[in-house]
Every structure is written in structure tokens, then in C-alpha cells.
Amino acid sequence: MTEEKSKKKNKDIIENIPDLKPGNVVQVYQKIAQGDKFRIQMFEGVVIAKKGKTENDRTITVRKVSEGGYGVERIFPLASPLISKITVLKKPKVRRAKLYYLRHSPRELKELKEK
């Protein structure tokens, strides 16, 4: 694939991503390869960090607390062709750029207040 085509493809992927901010509750739909087939897996959680300056370097860190009380964090590169879509469920009001304090108190994830 030529460099021009790959830039255009990345631009199309990035345009479909909504405006994400720390504190947003999101659902990330990601393509997972199983043998020769692909399936879509959904990961729902709170955006605790957003990194990267250029469009191709941007990543988000999403955290959720599973049923057993274990916290799970995943880092998603936003320019990845494996991400099929991202939907924003809630937009609570937060006053920090990095919400790493949510790692220590899982109860605070539920107490994020809406705007």
C-alpha cells in the first residue's frame, strides 16, 4: 500500500471517532481475529487518560471494574483499523486531565457526576 493511501485510510478512521475526554463512559468495538474470521468485541469503561499529540499517535486508556471487583485497563490506539466504532454513553463533569486516582477507589467510578 502506498504512503498516500495509508494516510487517507487513517484520516477516514480518525474522522469517525467522537470527541473523547477523560471521564467519558465509552463503548469501544474492536475487531478480534479468530483463525481466518473476525468478530467484534465490545469493551465498556471510563476514559481515564488521553495521550498523543498527532492524529496517528493518539491513544485512550479505558478502565472498567469487572464483576469480581477486579479493575481492567486497556489502551486503544485511535488510528487503528481494528477499532470499528466508539460510542459515548455518559459525559460526566471531571476536573482533571488524568483520572489515575480512580485506580485506587473503584467506588468512585460509579460516583462520577453528570454535567
pLDDT, tens digit (0-9, with 9 covering 90-100), for 24-78: 999 999 999 999 999 999 999 999 999 998 888 999 999 998 888 788 999 999 9
Q: Give me 9's grid cell.
A: 485510510
Domain span holding position 57:
3-110
In-domain check, residue 35: yes
Q: Best-predicted range by mean pLDDT among 10-14, 53-57, 87-91?
A: 87-91
How many domains are contained in the chain? 1
Let me know if residue 57 belongs to a domain: yes
pLDDT in tens, 91-106: 998 899 999 988 887 6
Q: Taking residues 6-12, what's their average pLDDT?
A: 63
In a domain, 105, yes or no: yes
DSSP, res 92: B
Q: In what helix (H) or strand (E) does residue 84 lie, and over which residues does it extend?
A: strand 83-90
Is residue 78 assigned to a domain? yes
pLDDT band at 6 (very low <50, low <70, confident <90, very high): low
What's the pLDDT score for residue 66? 83
Element (H, E) at 75: strand 71-77
Predicted confidence at residue 18, as pLDDT, reads: 85
First to last CA, the chain: 44
Residue 93 resides in a domain: yes
Domain-located, residue 82: yes
User: Which of helix, strand or coil describes residue 102?
Assistant: helix
83-90, strands of its sheet edge to edge: 71-77, 59-65, 37-51, 25-34, 83-90
Give, in order, the Cα–Cα distances in Å from 49 to each of 21, 30, 45, 103: 8, 19, 12, 12
CATH code assigned at 23: 2.30.30.790
Q: Looking at the domain assignment, is residue 106 inside a domain?
A: yes
Do 59 and 83 contact (CB within 8 A), yes or no?
no
User: Is 115 within the bounds of a domain?
Assistant: no
